[in-house]
Amino acid sequence: MLKKNLIALGKRNPNLAHRLEMTPITGRYKILKSQRSDQMYNIIDLKTNLYHYNQYDPYIGVKIDIEKMGILLPNLAVFFGFGLGYHVNEYLSRYPNATVLVIEEDMEIVKTVFSIINFTKVLNYNHFHIVSGLTPIQMYPHLFNFFNQSHLLQFLASINMIQNSISVTGSKQFYVNSLKMLKEAVTNVLALYGNDPHDSLIGIQMTLRNLSTIVDYPGIKDLKDKFKGKPGIVVSTGPSLNKNIEFLKGLDNKAVIVAPDATVKVLLNKGIKAAHMVTSLERVIATSKLFEGLTEEDVKDSYLSACPVIMPETYANYPGEKIIVYRNFATFKWIDIPKGILDIGPSAGNMAFKVLEWLGCDPIILIGQDLAFTDDGITHAEGAHYGEKAESYLAAGTISVPGNYQEKVKTSKVFSQFLRHYERDVLTYKGEVINATEGGAKIEGTILMTFQEAIDKYVKEDIDTLEVIKKNLKTPNLKTKKREVKELLKKIHDAIRFSDSLVEKLNIGVQNCLEFEEIVKVDSELEDKDNFAKCKELIKKIESTQEPFGSQEFYLIFMHYVQSYYIKASMDINHYKYKIKPSTDLNKILVVKFKEFYSVIAALINKINVEFKESLVKMEKHLTEIQ
């Protein structure tokens, strides 16, 4: 039975299947037949001498646990403790389309159960996930990846949490910390989609204003795996960079060096060449100032590898060559000019790591990636553009995290977010990650050593890095540019037409909400049959107004822009569906929510329509220049 279960698990989670196979069975858990007529299995923990289920009927308590929750919105559930998997089985039998996650501390209980009970049906279910045998910090990347699924985002405020009471009682601190890590993962998933539509609008504005740059320059796609098996170095501006920056001299022909935008002047101040690639993704004017005063000579062997959500001024201030790097946003799929899409985290440092992964580098060596402050509050290396003590990071308050060389180090919420994304990226990376920062916060999954040790072990052979980059980058010719601009002009015209049509539908939806509210003012309990029938029909129309949101056009053109509001509004609506049984009172609440939802989305689309119209003028001008 164990073999069958491990084969099924291995298809979707080979790492866990392998770890389970290697897990020793100590005999701590014993599975035995119950006194029920069908002798259904029970399980006892011989360490605590506690049964996980009722000794006479193991399943009766499971049904009661699920029923007493009064679940109204079953789409997403998290189970704390596995037991014999009965709670999962019962939940999925009631709600077969739900997405479920099991968090279990002890892999031995999972292996013991898999040795006796056929669990292949659940293991083959695409929406079943299990995390086991990891500390709460180690499980963070798994939690983030689980919740960062598009079909789950609107249910993140409506998570059904189900405990196996014996598991939780026996490892209370583990499950408390797991819940904290779960909440942090959900918070960071939502942060990834933006805090407000205005912030996202800036990204769309910049992308539309950078369309000519996208057309004119090559993409990171040209360099996929061109440095396979070669060492890559991420050089960030943490305070520990001061210790090992001098070791970078002479490595430009032995490794691929990628650095965030803030690192360029730090390197030049030390007489070290700018990195082969400089990453940038912040859509603020301050980023452009990082390149002020640079000359062509300063960056002649360095490529600005930026995501085109940055301000045009940032591109303009960089006097060297450029490479286009898309972030995994729907907008770039809509643009449909292939440049290469990377799953980039929130910082330019996270971006540098993903660039090296895309190039095929192995190992990836991190220096200056402190993601924390020194004991005396130093936040950045010497020569950093905004100084060694960036007060904005310190002012927001500090938190403690495990350190590389200290038990705990102080960091900020922003740095902590970058840290967690690093841990997620390290988990999915196929090669080795060497943390040679020589200070700062611990990044789970990395190998700790000094930069000199990393150089001695991995950075040995000469690489003609620049020649490989130049040879493989394909700068678009005039014919390609002309075709792509014409295709973009058509896309923008189509987007404007779709925008106008959608706003009209949303306005009708708002009118239906107002009509519902007028009827309820007169007949608050909807006792009149005609009023009841009218309101019932209006509710259908109001809810059906959402239908265009599920279209591919809406996703590609608007989702990145509206997603921060869209996700939160959807979560809010689902929260009420999760809390209140279907009734007239629930409909009253939902109509208010839908009225606001449709009004805001319509207003947002009207704003972006202005940007579309302005980009038409700019792209028509660019077409003339090309011709």
pLDDT digits (tens, 9 = 90+) for 33-55: 888 888 899 999 898 888 898 88
SS3 assignment for 292-337? CCCCCCCCCCCEEEECCCCCHHHHHHCCCEEEECEECCHHHHHHCC
**Cβ contact 304:321 at 8 Å:** yes
- Ordered DSSP codes for 321-382: EEEE-EES-HHHHHH---S-EE---SSHHHHHHHHHHHHT-SSEEEES---S--TT---S-T
Record the pTM.
0.86
State residue 395's pLDDT score. 67
Please state whether 125 falls in left (phi above 0), alpha (psi between -120 and 50) or beta: beta
The answer to whether residue 389 scores a pLDDT higher than 80 is: no
Beta strands in 76-211 (DSSP E): 76-80, 99-104, 128-132, 160-163
pLDDT in tens, 430-456: 999 999 999 999 999 999 999 999 999
State residue 283's pLDDT score. 86
pLDDT in tens, 228-272: 999 999 999 999 999 999 999 999 999 999 999 999 999 999 999
The answer to whether residue 396 scores a pLDDT higher than 90 is: no
Longest CA–CA span in the chain (Å) reads: 85
State residue 338's pLDDT score. 96
**Cβ contact 81:109 at 8 Å:** no
Mean pLDDT (whole number) for 306-311: 95
State residue 192's pLDDT score. 79
pLDDT in tens, 519-568: 988 888 888 888 888 999 999 999 999 999 989 999 999 888 888 888 88
Q: Among 558, 552, 501, 556, which residue's Cα sits nearest to residue 200?
A: 558
At which residue do the structure tokens 């189509």 appear? 494
The least confident of 18-22, 84-88, 284-288, 522-526 is 522-526
State residue 195's pLDDT score. 66
- pLDDT exceeding 90 applies to what percent of the chain? 73
Contacts of 106 (CB under 8 A, 6+ apart): 132, 133, 171
**Cβ contact 445:375 at 8 Å:** no
- Ordered DSSP codes for 544-577: HTTGGGGSHHHHHHHHHHHHHHHHHHHHHHHHHH
Mean pLDDT (whole number) for 329-355: 95
Mean pLDDT, rounded, of the chain: 92
Task: Give me the count of residues in the chain.
Answer: 627
The answer to whether residue 90 scores a pLDDT higher than 90 is: yes
